[in-house]
Homo-oligomer: A and B are copies of this chain.
Amino acid sequence: MKFNIALLAGDGIGPEVINEAVKVSDAIAKKFNHEITWTPALTGAAAIDAVGVPYPDETHEICMKADAVLFGAIGHPKYDNDPSAPVRPEQGLLLMRKKLGLFANVRPTFTFPSLIDNSPLKRERIEGTDLVFLRELTGGIYFGEKGRRDGGETAFDNCVYTRVEVQRLAKKGFELAMTRSKKLCCVDKANVLETSRLWRETVQAMEKDYPEVTVSYEFVDAVAMRLVQWPNSYDVLITENLFGDILTDEASVISGSMGLMPSASVGEHTSLYEPIHGSYPQATGLNIANPLATILSAAMMFEDAFGLKDEAEAIRAVVNKSLEEGIVTEDLAPKGSKKYKTSEVGDWLVANL
């Protein structure tokens, strides 16, 4: 098969981890007889520096034409302490999500047996954890009307959802649950918010179309607790944009493998794959960042965007092997053992595929 993949490396360690994912993807393509064309494009602070905006039209064209988008990370410290700077890298991220129609962010959290003791949680609490959040990504308070009144003394953000937005996200949730343990949890705050009541009634009405799926409804505050107490009691969770932002990050630290967690954003026009970690500016250019989350995101891309399960499994298998053999960057290297460089990890994976 032939693929055209848009390559958005972004800021900080983005280019370094993307580089390794490209190496591994190319090796997989060679092995399985595919042909990948990579089309790099600017985004984030790198795009602001080059052309003044964080998500240039040219980048958008490239993404729209691509079969999938592989994304690194964006964010730069020079914007960090000035959230009201007129142009910010994050605006590019939000604009990209909206313009590409990426309404569902798929965020798995699972454990790697060899890393389980890195978790802040006790082993018996997390063993067997394998959950997936579907976070709504193009609606809610992120995209509602916002602004100031009373000469700047009053600020407001509007959270808005339509039934159709809830339905399309929930549909993905039901479908995903059908391929897994048929358990779906709808996370909301229906005891307070009208948007949550719309979420809940919409999902309730869809239950009859998926009679095999058991649906539970939990309040966001209760989920924030239970994720720490019994993460392995969850399977598929669906939620709105802001709750998803908070809970998926919370969930990411429970496995002890945050540096390895991939994600996908899917929707109307294309799909995008990215590590969940940030741009880690302090490590930029040092060749020390862990490339595995990006490489596992590429595996998700092979499986979900191109339907190539064997290719994805091959990547996951070699990543597992590297973990077992201790071919890891400094964040995962036990005290006293060798710390591999970003590029050395990539080289080892390619050699062992």
Contacts of A141 in B (CB 8 A): 141, 159, 192-193
How near does chain B come to A226, taking the closest CB pair, in angstroms? 8
Contact of A246 among B83, B193, B224 (CB under 8 A): B224
Q: Is the CB of A90 within 8 A of B161?
A: no
A228 within 8 A of B: yes
Contacts of A88 in B (CB 8 A): 191
The interface size bin for chain A is 35 or more
Q: Is the CB of A224 within 8 A of B249?
A: yes
A144 within 8 A of B: yes
- Which of A84, A141, A196, A258 has its CB near the most chain B CB atoms (within 10 A)? A141
How near does chain B come to A151, taking the closest CB pair, in angstroms? 10
Q: Is the CB of B122 within 8 A of A144?
A: no
Q: Is the CB of A197 within 8 A of B156?
A: no
CA–CA, A65 to B22, complex, Å? 70
Given contacts A83-B200, A242-B189, contact A194 B155 (CB under 8 A): yes
Residues of A within 8 A of B (CB): 81, 83-84, 88, 90, 94, 120-122, 125, 141-142, 144, 146-148, 150, 152-164, 189-198, 200-201, 217, 220-222, 224-225, 227-229, 242-243, 245-247, 249-250, 252-254, 258
